[in-house]
């Protein structure tokens, strides 16, 4: 005994925002673990998934479209969502809401965002960090490019939900080969995160590993790679 029938089945995992950089790394890690993968991306971005098109199911459409998400998450055991607040039409909160409304009850729901999101207000940021977020956020909204407040709203709704969620808060990101699973802490000022740099592939690795890590349920881990960016 011990294992129920469900845990022995291949897990079906939906990746929302599959065609972006983080999404494509998540597809790689999920396939490596033997998961069945369903990817959601804008119709215009389907071509970015050509290398894996024969190994995954692709559902084209806007990630905040409830019908698109309902189709994609049906039968999934986990949904990994790239939260990016593009435009000024509540794209991020709409995406999070659609996932929470339609994912099966038992599913692990794992969302990505940045360090600027705080769950309990106990994160301590440098003045430089706060200034960058304020200025970049203001400029991005002015040009109707990105609405950081909408990512905050998306996370507020996730934190308030009783679903089996994890919000993974990424440090600064860089490309490069894996350095292994990033360190994490509940608050960004933890010295373990002092490096403030994560390889994008390892951010994706953390998101995929969280599917099996029940200790991360209803947590908002801030993550950072453990060694510096000078690695090859």
Closer to ligand NAP at the Cβ: 79 or 113?
113
Question: In angstroms, what is the minimal distance from the CB of 193 to ligand NAP?
Answer: 12
Residues forming contacts to ligand NAP in the complex (CB under 6 A) are 17, 19-23, 41-42, 45, 48, 82-84, 86-87, 91, 112-114, 170, 172-173, 200
Residue 66 beta carbon to ligand NAP: minimum distance, rounded to whole angstroms:
16
Nearer to ligand NAP, 7 or 207 (CB): 207
Q: What is the three-state SS of 189-228?
A: CCHHHCCCCEEHHHHHHHHHHHHHCHHHCCECCEEECCCC
- Asked if 35 and 12 touch (Cβ cutoff 8 Å), the reply is yes
- Nearest one of 110, 130, 116 to 219, comparing CA atoms: 110
Nearer of residues 106 and 132 to ligand NAP, judged by Cβ = 132
Rounded least distance, CB 48 to ligand NAP, Å: 6
The DSSP code for 172 is: S
List Cβ neighbours of 55 (8 Å cut-off, separation of 6 or more).
Answer: 31, 37
Cβ-closest position to ligand NAP: 20
Query: Cβ 19 to ligand NAP, closest distance in Å?
Result: 3
- Is the CB of 12 or the CB of 17 nearer to ligand NAP? 17
Beta bridge partners of 198: 173
Asked whether 49 and 182 are in contact (CB, 8 A), the reply is no
Give the count of beta carbons closer than 10 Å to the beta carbon of residue 113: 24
Smallest separation, CB 145 to ligand NAP (Å)? 8
Question: Which CB, 60 or 105, lies closer to ligand NAP?
Answer: 60
């Amino acid at each position: 005994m011990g294992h129920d029938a469900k845990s022995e089945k291949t897990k079906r995992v939906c990746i929302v925002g599959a065609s972006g950089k983080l999404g494509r790394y998540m597809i790689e890690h999920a396939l490596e673990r033997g998961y069945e993968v369903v990817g959601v991306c804008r119709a215009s971005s389907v071509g970015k998934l050509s290398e894996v098109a024969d190994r995954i199911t692709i559902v084209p459409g806007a990630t905040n479209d409830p019908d698109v998400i309902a189709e994609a998450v049906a039968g999934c055991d986990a949904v990994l969502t790239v939260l990016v607040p593009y435009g000024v039409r509540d794209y991020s909160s709409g995406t999070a809401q659609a996932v929470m409304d339609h994912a099966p009850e038992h599913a692990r729901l794992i969302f990505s965002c940045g360090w600027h999101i705080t769950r309990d207000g106990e994160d301590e940021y440098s003045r430089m960090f706060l200034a960058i977020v304020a200025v970049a956020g203001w400029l991005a909204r002015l040009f109707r490019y990105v609405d950081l407040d909408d990512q905050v709203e998306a996370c507020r709704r996730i934190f308030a939900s009783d679903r089996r969620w994890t919000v993974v808060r990424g440090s600064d990101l860089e490309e490069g080969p894996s350095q292994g699973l990033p360190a994490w802490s509940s608050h960004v000022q933890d010295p373990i995160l002092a490096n403030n740099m994560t390889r994008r592939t390892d951010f994706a690795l953390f998101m995929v590993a969280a599917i099996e890590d029940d200790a991360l349920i209803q947590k908002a881990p801030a993550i950072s790679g453990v060694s510096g960016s000078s690695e090859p």
